[in-house]
């Protein structure tokens, strides 16, 4: 149930930001099984991300648009380590202050499932993975691994509903999506937190 105080509107168009609507798999056939993601408001995702001990943000080939890229960078500046899958890195190459690592998404999933993995920065495995901007079906398949074979929490802050995550937004229009990302960012500590 969406609480009244959680409901926000987009800055320019004044549309209600309700990310719990349209919570059906974006690819119509992508029905994994009885356990599917809970659709949540962005503030909920943001708070969970902010509370994580060792969070990792994974992004992929769909982040090159200015609007989206800006938000990736902002999340990175709030101290969240970034795994750049696919060709995401080429848009992040100049962001020297961010903790960004080039990864192969498939390999990363295998490492994340291994409790003995030392992480991308050699400081240990992660307790939470957030992701967006990865080819939909690719992300969906690969996070199925984390859902079924790891203890890591997976939160989708993508434009699409991802049933294999623990929590997800519903399927969103572009303006609601960027506004939702802003809401997530608003929950993150302003000063760089050392995760």
Partner 1 sequence: MKLLQQTRTKFVEQEEKLIVEGPTPRPGLIDLRNWDYRIIDTYNPLYTSQSDTCDYCTFGKCDLTCNKRGACGIDLETHSAREGMMTCIMGAACHTAHARHLLNYFINRYGNDHPIDVGPTSLNAPVTEVIMGFQPETMGDFRPVLDYVEEQLTNLISSAHTGQEGSARDFESKTLHAGMLDHLGMEVAEITQISCLGFPKSDENAPLAEIGMGILDQDKPIVICVGHNVVASGYILDHMDWNGLFDKIEIAGLCCTAHELTRYNKNTKIIGSMSKQLKYIRSGIPDVLVVDEQCVRADILREAKELFIPVIATNDKCTHGLPDRSNDSIDEIIDDLVSGKQAGALILDFEKVGELVPRLAMKIGPIRKAKGITAIPTDEDFKKLVSKCTNCLKCTRDCPQSLPIADAMEAATNGDISKFEHLHEKCVGCGICDNCPAGIPVLNVIEKASQRIIKLEKGRVRIGKGQISDDEIIKEAMNLELGITPGVIALVGCSNYPDGTKGIYDVAEEMLERGYIVLTSGCSAMDIGLHKNADGKTLYERYTGKFSRGNLLNAGSCVSNAHIGATTIKIASILAGIQTKGNYEEIADFVLNAVGAVGIAWGAFSQKAFAIATGCNRLGIPVVTGPQGAKYRRALIGKPYKKEEGGIMSTNDDSIVNSEPAPEHLMITAETKDDLLPLIAKLCIRPGDTSTARAVKLTHYIELSEKYLKKMPDDWHIYVRNETDIPIAKKEQLLKLLDEKRRTINIDKDKEKIIGNSLLKFGTPVHLTNIPPLCEEV
C-beta of 66: minimal distance to partner 1 in Å? 17
- Rounded Cα distance between 42 and 158, Å, is 11
Give the residues across from 9 on adjacent strands.
Answer: 16
Q: Quick one: 53 or 116, whose CB is closer to partner 1?
A: 116
CB 127 within 8 A of CB 55: yes
CB closer to partner 1, 48 vs 109: 109
**Which residue in 95, 99, 65, 107 sits closest to 82, CA to CA?**
99
Q: Which residues bind partner 1 (CB under 8 A)?
A: 26-29, 31-35, 60-61, 85-87, 89-90, 93, 101-102, 104-107, 109-111, 113-114, 116-118, 134-138, 141-142, 144-145, 147-149
Cα angle 165-93-68, degrees, rounded to a multiple of 5: 45
Q: Which is nearer to partner 1, 118 or 123 (CB)?
A: 118
Q: Is the CB of residue 137 less than 8 Å from the CB of residue 66?
A: no
- In the complex with partner 1, which residue's Cβ is closer, 43 or 178? 178
- Residue 127 CB, nearest approach to partner 1 (Å): 17
Question: Smallest gap, in angstroms, from Cβ of residue 191 to partner 1?
Answer: 28
Q: How far is the CB of 129 from partner 1 (least distance, A)?
A: 15
């Amino acid at each position: 149930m969406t609480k009244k105080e959680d409901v926000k509107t987009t800055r320019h168009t004044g549309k209600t930001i309700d990310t719990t609507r349209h919570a059906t798999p974006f690819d119509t056939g992508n029905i994994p099984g009885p356990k599917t993601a809970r659709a949540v408001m962005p503030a909920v995702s943001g708070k969970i991300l902010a509370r994580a001990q060792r969070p990792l943000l994974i992004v992929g080939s769909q982040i090159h648009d200015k609007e989206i890229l800006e938000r990736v960078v902002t999340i990175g500046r709030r101290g969240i380590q970034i795994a750049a899958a696919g060709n995401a890195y080429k848009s992040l190459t100049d962001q020297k202050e961010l903790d960004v690592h080039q990864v192969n998404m498939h390999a990363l999933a295998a490492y994340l499932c291994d409790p003995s993995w030392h992480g991308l920065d050699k400081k240990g495995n992660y307790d939470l993975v957030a992701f967006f901007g990865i080819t939909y079906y690719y992300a969906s398949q690969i996070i199925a691994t984390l859902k079924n074979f790891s203890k890591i929490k997976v939160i989708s802050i993508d434009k699409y509903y991802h049933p294999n995550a623990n929590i997800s937004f519903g399927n969103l229009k572009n303006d609601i999506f960027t506004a939702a990302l802003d809401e997530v960012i608003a929950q993150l500590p302003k000063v760089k937190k050392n995760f």
